[in-house]
Amino acid sequence: MRLPLLALLARGAAHGYELKQDLEQLLGSAYPQPNVGQIYVTLGRLERSGLIEGEDVEQSSRPNKKVYHLTDAGREALRAWYEETADEPRVRDEFFMKLALAPRTGLADQIALINKQRRQYLNTMRQLSKLAAAEDRDNRIAHLLIEGAMLHLQADLDWLERCQEELEELE
């Protein structure tokens, strides 16, 4: 989440808790509880690497809060982030290696593996559907995120189906 935090700081300084709220507002229930601890840790790292600078601001009745702003190096890093395209999702994942190696181990049946994996994907799909139904209709960004997750899962499920078709023919 380093670069998303930099991006949130592009328009002006903010403190950690504000960034958490910004993320919540942007992604809605699709990202229910941004881990505030993780945000502070990441801000610390960004500061050490010179991409942001923190400034202590006094508060009357509470401890000081640290307000961060982008440095020139930070803005440059953000620009570079927008220059490059993102990596493709990984296909050769852990499940695939399990499936491919199953016959050699004699420890698992490929079709049973596929069925088990499908159940998990379907359950996740169901949770995503519920999330989409519960999310504010007007939060387009949140809906696009959830829909993206669903389409990826759909592709994974289609691929499981292909595996099953091929492997059942061999049986």
Partner 1 sequence: MSESTAPVLRAEGLVKTHHGEGAPAHAVRGVDLCVARGEFVAITGPSGAGKSTLLHLLGGLQRPDAGSIWLDGECTDGYGEARWAVERRRRIGIVFQFFNLVSDLSVADNVELPALLAGVPPRKARAEREALLAELGLAGKERSMPGELSGGEQQRVALARALVNHPPLLLADEPAGSLDSKGTREVMRLLSRFHQRGQTILLVTHDARLASAADRVISFFDGRIADDAELDGGPPPRRTGISGVLELKD
Residues from 59 through 98 that contact partner 1 (CB under 8 A)? none
Q: Which CB atom, from 65 or from 111, has the smaller least distance to partner 1?
A: 111
What is the rounded CA–CA span in Å between residue 117 and residue 95?
8
Q: Is 8 in the site for partner 1 (CB under 8 A)?
A: no
Residue 70 phi, psi (nearest 5): -70, 140
**Whole-number minimum distance, CB 31 to partner 1, in Å?**
6
Is residue 125 a contact residue for partner 1 (CB under 8 A)? yes
The span of 52-60, 62-70, 100-108, 159-167 binding partner 1 (CB under 8 A) equals: 159-167
Nearest alpha carbon to residue 128 among 109, 143, 140, 117: 143
- Give the one residue of 30, 46, 77, 102 binding partner 1; rule: CB under 8 A: 30
Question: Least CB distance from residue 107 to partner 1, whole Å?
Answer: 20
Sequence-separated contacts (24+) of 135-143 with Cβ below 8 Å: 135/28, 135/29, 135/30, 136/28, 136/29, 139/28, 141/26, 141/27, 141/28, 142/26, 142/27, 142/28, 142/29, 142/30, 142/31, 143/30
The residue among 54 and 164 lying less far from partner 1, judged by its C-beta, is: 164
Interacting residue ranges for partner 1, rule: CB under 8 A = 1-2, 4, 30-31, 38, 42, 111, 115, 118-133, 145-147, 149-150, 152-154, 157-158, 161-162, 164-165, 168
